[in-house]
Amino acid sequence: EHDTGRRVAHLIAGRLLDYIEFDDGYAIAKMRPPAEILGKTLAAAAVRQRYGVTIVGLKPKAGGFAHAVPETTVASGDLIIVSGARAKVDTFAELP
């Protein structure tokens, strides 16, 4: 119940659409991308260097999920899968 409560809190608090937290403080989240990375490749956005999280997958507005690579461009309407330390994923998810 405690874990379910934390998961639901994450989902209703922001742009997160799904959230899984592991025992060791690691999390994976499905979310809408923050505005500051829209129109940029993952290499140009430097998400890992700036926020300490990794975008591991992306689902374009029209299409299925695919593994993210440095050349992947993030567009409005896309969904991203982000992984990393829970606190860093939470911080990234709070970006406007």
What pLDDT shows up at residue 23? Answer: 81
Tell me: the pLDDT tens digits for 24-73?
A: 899 999 999 999 999 999 999 999 999 999 999 999 988 999 999 999 99
- Residue from 57, 5, 70, 52 nearest 29 by CA: 57
Are β-strands 66-67 and 54-59 bridged in parallel, bridged antiparallel, or unpaired?
A: antiparallel
pTM (2 d.p.)? 0.83
| Token output for 38 | 């829209």
* Alpha-carbon torsion (49, 38, 57, 14), positive or negative: positive
What pLDDT shows up at residue 27? Answer: 93
